[in-house]
Homo-oligomer: A and B are copies of this chain.
């Protein structure tokens, strides 16, 4: 920006010190509320700081001290409500603690993830909260981040040597899928599919395990044809809906990998003349905002992403304060079933109930 006046130099500690007839050292102590400084001096400095519109230069301070009040957050897709709410939670907790958020997103690409992290790492964040892209190579990540950066892995497990020593916050995927499946069993469904997700992602594996747990506890074995993979997006789910009915006996209900898939499935069912909640029961996972306003409203497993974000940030802050044991800390966040109308028993009708 071309300025009229010849670039009004930035106000520094030296300016304040000179104006007060003090040394930079003393002004610096005032800035950090040192009790060493005489109250009168402090007041004088404070006034001058204010008068000149001084802005602290954190870069310089970080350089000198070797530290930073920035925390990096890298998610897959900020436009995904799950991650947006997660990020909002992280941001709130960090801001409260006086930290600043450096944000990046990867679009599920390990390559972009590497590039984004390299760029963020140059800013020397105090810690990293990472929701890893699919097929992340932990060893490669570790090479980039070095041995000392505190890392909290969120949502998807990272295996191998690389991830050793990194903290981990996950949803209780297994329990969530178990609850979802039990709910359908309780409504009389016996032929229950698990729909969507990629088999090789840790969260999908865990959710499938919970699904199997519940079936096994009910003495049922899932028909292999009831395990349908698809990308965790609405569009793909709508396209794959037909795969559920390829076999005989076809399922009468499905536990879905997540809400996006569940909503896509509901659209796919409609396109086939089937009504979710009436002809076919559906349960999702995540409880995104749309779940409540879908028609019929979607029964789902609530992950409370904002609470997860707060939790993640607090974990990291605790780690930074050195108050966490050195061993990697793994936390599994509880999850709850939110029952709505997409998962009625086959015999129930949808004509009851009121509009959303």
Contact = CB atoms under 8 A, between A and B. Distances in A.
22 contacts: A1-B150, A1-B319, A1-B322, A2-B322, A7-B148, A53-B143, A53-B146, A57-B63, A58-B122, A59-B124, A78-B87, A79-B84, A79-B85, A95-B104, A95-B112, A95-B119, A101-B104, A102-B102, A263-B293, A267-B356, A293-B293, A295-B295
A148 to B, nearest CB: 6
A236 interface: no
Contacts of A120: 100
Contacts of A85: 78-79
A315 to B, nearest CB: 13
A271 interface: yes
Contacts of A141: none
Given A55-B146, A63-B63, A102 B100 contact: yes
* The 10 residue pairs across chains A and B that have the minimum distance between CB atoms: A270-B355, A84-B84, A78-B88, A295-B295, A59-B59, A79-B88, A58-B122, A103-B103, A56-B122, A79-B85
Given A2-B322, A293-B290, A319-B1, A100 B78 contact: no
A237 to B, nearest CB: 13
Contacts of A105: 88, 91-92, 95
A73 to B, nearest CB: 8
Contacts of A102: 70, 100-103
B59 A78 contact: no
A121 interface: yes
Contact of A8 (B1, B62, B147): B147
A102 B267 CA distance: 38
Interface string A267-294: 1001100000000000000000110011
A258 to B, nearest CB: 14
Contacts of A60: 59, 63
A149 to B, nearest CB: 8
Interface in A18-61: 53, 55-60
Contacts of A62: 59
Contacts of A95: 104-105, 112, 115-116, 119
A156 interface: no
A103 B91 contact: yes
Interface string A122-135: 11100000000000
Nearest to A7: B148
Contacts of A7: 148
B70 A91 contact: no
